[in-house]
Amino acid sequence: MKQNKNKIIVIVMMALLVGLVGCSKFLERKPEGQLTKEEALKTEADLLAFVNGTTTLVGNDDYMGGRLQAASELLADELKGDKFTGDEAEIFGRRNSIFGDFRNNLYIKAYTVINRANVILETLDLAGTNKGYIEGSSRFFRGMGHFEMVRLFAHPFGYNTDNSQPGIALRLSTGNGSIPRSTVKEVYNQIIVDLKYADSILPVTPQSGTKYYTVTKWVAEAYLAKVYFQMNDFANAYLYAGKVIASGKFMLDNNYNNRYSTGLSTEGIFILANNTTVYNPGSELRGKYRSDRNAPNYNYTDIFYNFATSKPGDVRKAWYSKTLVVDLNVSTKFNKDFFDLPIVHLTEMKLIRAEAGAEIAASNPAALAVAITDINDILTRAYGGTSQNLATTATAAAVIVTTRSERELEMVNEGNRLQEIKRIGARNGSNIDRRGSPWNCNGLLLQFPKAEQDANASFQLNVEGGCF
Amino acid sequence: MKLTRLLLLLLLPLLLFCMPALAQDQTVTGKVTDAKDGSPMANVTVQVKGTKTATQTNADGTFKIKLPTDAKILVLSSVGYANKEISATNGDAIVSLTQTTNNDLNEVVVIGYGVQRKRDVTGAIVKISGDKISNIPVPSFEAALQGKAPGVQIIQGNGLAGSGSVVRIRGVGSISASGDPLYVIDGVPVISDPFLRGNSGAMNQNPLASINPNDIESIEVLKDAGATGIYGSRGANGVILVTTKRGKSGKPSFTYAAKLGIATYANKPNFVNGTEWLQLRQEAWVNSGKTGLASLPNGITYAQATQNNTDWWDLLTQTGFINDHSLSMSQGNKKLKTFANITFSDDAGYLKNNAYQRIAARLNVDYAVTDKLKVALTSGYNRGTNRRVNSSYAGGIGDAMSSALPIFPVYNANGTYFTNGANPVRNINETKRREINNRGLVGLSFEYQPIKNLFLKANGSVELISSSDDQFETNLSTQRSTADSGYAKRYPYWGYNWTTTYTANYLLNIGTNHKFNFLAGTEAQEFSLKEYKVEIGQFAGSPYYQHIQDYYNRIDTLKKNNPTGIEQSKDKYTFNSFFGRVNYTYKGRYSLQAVVRLDGSSKFGTNYKNGFFPSVSAAWTISDESFMKTIKQINFLKFRASYGIVGNANFPNGKYQDNYRTGGITYNGNTTLYLDALGNPNLKWETLRNTDIALEFALFGNRLTGEIAYYHKATTDILLEPGLSPSGGTGKVFRNLINSKIINQGLEFSANLKIIDKKDFKWTIGGNISRNENKVVEYELGPDAVGGGTNDTRIIKGLPVGVNFLVRFKGVDTNDGLPIWLDKNGKQTKTFSLDHRVYAGSVVPDFIGGFNTAINYKNFEFSTLFSYVIGGSIYENSGKYQFLGTSSKFWNFRKDFLDRWTKPSDISQYPKLVASATDYPGVSSEDQFNSTMFLRDASYLRLRELTIGYRIPKTALGKSFIKDVRMFLTATNLLTFSKYPGGDPEITRDFENAQDRNLSPNITYLTAPSQKTVIFGLNVNF
């Protein structure tokens, strides 16, 4: 009897043991395919893979794959608006309101990239020999993201003399609590800190190959040039554009059509590499503008179309068509199945140095000569020869006028025009908007997603409207 | 340590399986059944006359009693039944007891892990018998519950075949977690998630649709903690127990049931024709100050437009044919009982090319191996084939209500399809979609009685699921030249859901006054679904189901090309639970129940792996007190109350852990790694504190029966997924909100009155009404942090879940025809602004219910059921676009919007038409044109069911092999009374996720109206 009792106890104990072990595993089985941070980021190679993933996010449709450019162009003055509905009609009408996924997703994706950059920056102890690239590219992604957001969601640098106008939330760590808007001045200061730090540690050559498909020192400097130019800080814009140009790493494309191509461009300073079967950056750009299949909603006003196609000999006129779709002035620039997506290119550096050089000509006469050379490089390519080139004795004012005009033509659909309206407005108060709105009207800003205020009632939204 | 002890407690009885049974001498066994219908009676006292030796019958009515040597007579007694004496030597007898009272209180109801007499139940449970489910044609069985159970809101599915209903038991207390009840079929929690296919094609897949209504013996709806407490972390939204039919005692008998009928739409919106549309377009154009002829969409000319007057609705709809046949067999003897059923049904809806076909088979077997060991097999197979069509925003009938204008043709002059605008005829002709859901549910249970009054039960069940979604576009849809350049693709998923349950049940009577029923159990469940992570598709001339080998070849190719495999987990979670229940009854009139459940789940965060859920409930049968005996009018009066803590664990799995993922792609030749979502190790269930008090009564010779109940449900630890600052860049994170609380409290009243109760003539009326007050009492986020999908319902502190937060439309300025709005403070303004938005309504109704009457005269029967909703709002999210149809939105224009301003001094319901929504001052786009202009009263009264039946008299059948024949005509949704101008007032559209489903029933977006059906039914028993 006692023996039986013991047997029972042993059986019970064993059953319990099996049961308990079984239970704990049973309940703690991991979600399949999901890795924790500790599992995902164990080595430098993991960090490199994470930087790679983050790089592809930059080219996401909601961000630089087209949404950022599209939102800018909607607010600018080249597009005809009668085919827009919903969110796009709102933004086009310069009355962007608190709702709208078109804008929300852009904002979210830009900040997603900033967050991923911060994740890397908080895990740098894993980095080894590639630390410069890993840390530098993350600081670049963060600086670039804040820059692209602040110039869409806040009044431009120079709107106030002290730039105390509200900017955007600066995200310098991975926390997800609400953060209030910093001033535009604070935001620009941080952008410059990030980009300069990136410049100081990034490698000069891409991670592999000869194309600049990964972040290098040069894109940090190119963005510094863009940032300073946006601030109308011409001396620094000239300086940094000059550094990129002087690096000799980039060549203007012979063919205007190569900038958006698969592997043909030589002027991309940072390019997202298309891979036909797995990764196709820029599909949102193609979706908005492509005109060889359906009638695109994004088409131009007659005024802009006439401006862009008025100059005889301009080879870039091939970017426009009035006949491809009946009664519409459409773009052909993106009539391609795939292309590498340049985030910043040498043409823009040339244009920045040309205009900045002319702006500082009074204090730096040598800069004017450089500026004239730069704009003439652009003109030579655009007009298939030197017929439209400026004389070497051209005045600074003439260089500026020509450069601004060429900039608009070169960078059509690239999200450039809106920032020019704002920058030139902040420069000297002039309104170049073809729609006649003052450069500093509130409707030229995107409204913040309402979710910011719902997460924290004190988050300050933009004042809406006031433009036409 | 506690866990260990609990385990010990639970495992000990299981070990007894292995022990030799103790010898029992001088025993007698038997079974007690209800004389009325032969159903087994549990808890009947079997006492040796003149002694204190007694026992009680088991759930299946059987008993075994050890007899003293001089025992001669056994007395069988049960409350509500006449005592019966039988000879003590009459072993293995089947004894029937006859009811002394004429009510259903002795009916056995299914409760969690057991059964109970209704009069002993301490929780809130509504039982609906299977015939009330199977006799009416509904797209999915749960729709048949509408109007039949107080406190249970059923918003029936829309007009798409197989569509599911939104079921809310005593309101909704969740935001991002699901508010759907737990569905338990024969003791097994089954897969009921409507989002397994998202809302592809603008329809949520409804896994419940494949369940065969003909299999259902009864449905019990468990509402309060007294009833759902035993389901612990999954009891908060209520539980729907489905019990399938089993073999009944008697010789083999067969039943053939058929339903044949037709289906159409219950209501439809009406639109203007082509000529009218063009006139209205011109009117809008001129109103906006434009001159000349108005522009038409996509460059269509007036010459082209005036040639057409297409009635798209007519082209897309049909009279559907309902065709439903079922053959079942039941037999039962001492050892073996069997129920078998096969069903075939093919119910075409009113939409062309849309039908739901159901093939089902069931075999339930009960076998008594020995007196002590019983084995039961429960097995069912269901195959639902949904021939799908697109709807709502995805096209089809949705296009007919929106962008398919009457000025568009179906075909161009050259016979090709018109493609310069929406063409839903092309859409339904040139696309094919077939979704097949296979569900096999097999359970095997063993019940062993090692000693008197102790019942050990082991049950293992497995639910096997496989689903495929075949989609095909012809080359006319893909716009390619050759016939074989259409595109075929299939999205399958497959998996299992296994559950094992072990329970030990011990009955203990101390004297005749104290009765205990102890239950302890443990349950483990694992659910797993897999899918392919790549699309299985290719150019083809026909759908995969017509050339299945190509599908398998394609999979083989993809497997070769993907060395890491192409399968991935779609969903997976586990539950592991321990539970215990004690029922104590004193003198048969005071009942007390205590329940505890410990639930662990792989869904819960690492810091909260297990939850503890206790509940208590009590009932007092006042009518059994001596002081009540003198009140003859009161036949039965019971007061019951419950309080308990239950949880809601119905949220997606894998949310507690960060989701880093190796990229499926390389970038520039190198591997990629992503962070898809942040996890939350503190993630846990929502906590519901649930109180219920109720009075059940039977009066005036049991002619008036009913129940009145009050409940109070307070949900805390509310789960929220959105609402984080978007600049955090971390996306959505499931988290339990601190300082959050949602209250549902309400009253329910149901009653049934037998006006005439004679042998040949019976007339009853009955009904129920429920009021639920829903309020978010603690919540810290702003009003727009949470929205129901793309629709305008919100969560605002102090208001119900799912409020319409809208600008108020005051009326039309008679001078200029512009809308007049009210700002936040109620001041009139003509400038629209989202800042003017206020609480304007709620999707939660004030009252819901149903009422019915049934007349039986000799062999004729006539019955009706009306269901109704009083209060609550419908928001027409697509209505705003339909009103703006002749603006640049270019949609169909609804006729009820014709009451618009056209000239000064016009008094009209709607403002003047405009060429662009932005021509109304302050409106930034048509998307933001949300106002009370499109907010409607959701009240309706619906003739939900109407049946006329006839049973052929037994005398006419004579001695033929046919035992019973019943014929009936049933109509559903025959009449609807509603002020809603947009079509059908019951709105279950496609939802994006559980949150959308919680917040936005009653928000229309081109929702296909419900079906109206008329069927002829035949039931033959032989």
Most confident residue range from B138-147, B278-287, B628-637, B697-706: B278-287
**Average pLDDT value over all residues in chain A:** 93
A111–B726 CB contact, under 8 Å: yes
Nearest residue, CB atoms, B918 vs list A93, A107, A116: A93
pLDDT > 70? residue A199: yes
Are A111 and B728 within 8 A, CB to CB? yes
pLDDT at B877 exceeding the cut of 50: yes
Lowest model confidence (mean pLDDT) among A173-187, A351-365, A435-449, B556-570: B556-570
pLDDT digits (tens, 9 = 90+) for B588-630: 899 999 999 999 999 999 899 999 999 999 999 999 998 988 8
Q: Do A12 and B925 touch (CB under 8 A)?
A: no
Proportion of chain B above pLDDT 90, given as a percent: 75
Q: Give the pLDDT band (50/70/90) at residue B100.
A: low
Is residue B846 predicted with pLDDT exceeding 50?
Answer: yes
Residue B18 has pLDDT above 70, yes or no: no
**Is the per-residue pLDDT at B847 higher than 80?**
yes
The answer to whether B743 and B777 have CB atoms below 8 angstroms apart is: yes
Query: pLDDT grade, residue B10 (50/70/90)?
Result: very low
Between positions 762 and 791 of B, the ones with CB within 8 A of A are: 781-785
| H/E segment holding residue A102 | helix A101-121
Cβ contact (<8 Å) for A455 and B725? yes
Smallest Cα distance from A218 to chain B, Å: 19
Distance CA B973, CA B958 (A): 38
**pLDDT tens per residue, range A392-406:** 999 999 999 999 999
pLDDT value of position B9: 37
Q: Which of B600, B725, B926 sits opposite A456 (nearest CB)?
A: B725
Residues of B in contact with A87 (CB under 8 A): 925, 927
In DSSP notation, B673-736 reads EEEEE---TT---EEEEEEEEEEEEEETTTTEEEEEEEEEEEEES-EE-S-S-GGG------EE
Q: Which of B4, B298, B602 shows the shortest C-beta gap to A28?
A: B602
CA distance B984 to B1011: 10
* Least confident interval from B84-88, B312-316, B923-927: B84-88
Residue B12 binned pLDDT confidence (cut-offs 50, 70, 90): very low
Which residue among B606, B678, B785 sits closest to A451, beta carbon to beta carbon? B785
Distance between CA atoms of B366 and B377, rounded to whole angstroms?
6
What confidence tier does B790 reach under pLDDT thresholds 50, 70, 90? low
- Taking the C-alpha atoms of residue A439 and residue A467, their distance in angstroms, rounded to an integer, is 9
**B274 with B407: CB under 8 angstroms?**
yes
What percent of chain B stands above pLDDT 70? 95
Radius of gyration of chain B (CA): 31
CA-closest candidate to residue B426, choices B288, B505, B345, B315: B315
DSSP state string for B271-300: B--HHHHHHHHHHHHHHTT--SSPP-GGG-
Q: How many CB atoms lie within 10 A of CB B981?
A: 17
**Which residue is associated with the tokens 């400038």?**
B831
Mean pLDDT of A155-164: 97
From B380-394, B561-575, B630-644, B722-736, the region with the lowest mean pLDDT: B561-575
Give pLDDT, residue A225. 98
Chain A CB within 8 Å of residue B918 CB: yes
In this model, does residue B5 exceed pLDDT 70? Answer: no
Residue of A nearest to B607 (CA): A28
How far does the CA of residue A169 sit from the closest CA of chain B (Å)?
Answer: 7
Query: Does the pLDDT of residue A310 top 60, yes or no?
Result: yes
Q: Does B731 lie at the interface with A, CB-CB under 8 angstroms?
A: yes
CB contact under 8 Å between A213 and B7, yes or no, is: no
B568 near A CB under 8 A? yes
Q: List the single best residue of A13, A24, A26, A325 to mutate versus B (max B Cβ within 10 A).
A: A26
**Which residues of chain A are within 8 Å of residue B724 when distances are taken between CB atoms?**
176, 451, 455
Contact A8/B889, CB-based, under 8 Å? no
Other C-beta atoms within 10 Å of A370: how many?
A: 20
Inter-chain CB proximity A275 and B665 less than 8 Å: yes
Neighbour count for residue B1018 (Cβ, 10 Å) = 14
Least confident of B226-235, B281-290, B590-599, B1000-1009: B1000-1009
Residues of A in contact with B574 (CB under 8 A): 26-27, 29
Residues forming a β-bridge with A320: A331
Look up residue A263 and give its amino acid: G
* Interchain proximity B727–A95, CB inside 8 Å: no
Least confident stretch, A424-428, B200-204, B798-802, B966-970:
B200-204
Whether B16 shows a pLDDT value over 80: the answer reads no
Measure the CA–CA gap between B120 and B109, rounded to whole angstroms.
10
Chain centre distance of CA B746: 21
Residue A220 reports pLDDT greater than 70 = yes
In sign, the C-alpha dihedral spanning B668, B670, B675, B676 is positive
- Write the pLDDT tens digit of every residue in B950-988: 999 988 888 888 989 999 999 999 999 999 998 889 998
List of chain B residues whose C-beta atoms are within 8 Å of the C-beta of residue A119: 675
Q: Is B602 on the interface with A (CB under 8 A)?
A: yes
Res. B20: pLDDT tops 70: no
Mean pLDDT of all residues in B541-557: 94
Chain pair A-B, CB pairs under 8 angstroms: 247
Closest chain B residue to A466, measured at CA = B922
Per-residue pLDDT tens over the stretch B189-222? 998 999 998 888 888 888 888 889 999 999 999 9
* Section A91-100 average pLDDT: 93
Split at pLDDT 50, 70, 90, the class of B15 is: very low
Structure tokens at B951: 């049973």
Query: CB-CB: which of B673, B731, B927 is closest to A40?
Result: B673
Three-state DSSP state, B622: helix
> Which chain B residues in 365-404 lie under 8 Å from chain A, judged by CB atoms?
none
d(CA B943, CA B851): 10
ipTM above 0.95, yes or no: no
**Phi-psi category of B138—alpha, beta or left, where left has phi over 0 and alpha has psi -120 to 50?**
beta
Report pLDDT digits (tens) over A249-302.
999 999 989 999 999 999 999 999 999 888 999 999 999 999 998 889 999 999
B654, A34: Cβ pair inside 8 Å? yes
Per-residue pLDDT reduced to its tens digit, A40-80: 999 999 999 999 999 999 999 999 999 999 999 999 999 99
Nearest to B781 among A31, A96, A455 (CB): A455
By residue count, chain A amounts to 468
Question: Which residue reads 């023996």 in tokens?
Answer: A3
Comparing alpha-carbon positions, the chain B residue that sits nearest to A11 is B15
- Say yes or no: B888 contacts chain A, CB-CB below 8 A: yes
- Chain A CB contacts of B783 under 8 Å are 454
Residue B745 has pLDDT above 50, yes or no: yes
Residue B446, pLDDT above cutoff 50: yes
State residue B1's pLDDT score.
37
Query: Residue A12: its pLDDT value, please?
Result: 47
Q: CB–CB of B525/B461 below 8 Å?
A: no
**pLDDT classification of B32: cutoffs 50, 70, 90:** confident
